[in-house]
Amino acid sequence: MRVLALAPAPVHGIQIHPHSPRVVPGRTYPFRLRTHCDVGFAVDFDSGFWGLADAAWACSGGNPPPGIDNPYQDGTMILIDARHTRFDVPGGHIHFTRHLGARIVPDLRA
């Protein structure tokens, strides 16, 4: 019996890489969160990208939840540990988990 190895499907798009500096865990940092058209897509903090962990913050029709500024919300970000961070605003917060590697922005020309 012959076993075939499947190659991963090619990803068509543009790779983006984080540019933010490393931070000290437990310290708060001023942060401007992009909130329009997907709150958690390109959150660049602590030299990495972060994905939305709180479903309540998911955008609805390209807009953030009520009470959150659009297209940006100012607040503070804190690195909880190597895999978790939290964005704080008056009256609430949002949790993120670290995304490993670069992000792929779809190439709409393909």
Q: Please tell me the distance from the alpha carbon of residue 97 to that of residue 63, in angstroms, as a whole number.
A: 21
Block residue for tokens 């437990």 = 26
Block residue for tokens 């090619």 = 10
Structure tokens at 71: 């297209």
What is the tens place of the pLDDT at every residue in 7-64? 555 567 888 889 999 999 999 999 999 887 777 677 999 999 998 887 767 666 667 7
Question: Residue ranges of the domains in the chain?
Answer: 20-102
Pairing verdict, β 28-34 and 72-81: antiparallel
Q: Is 62 left (phi over 0), alpha (psi -120 to 50) or beta?
A: left
pLDDT at 74: 95
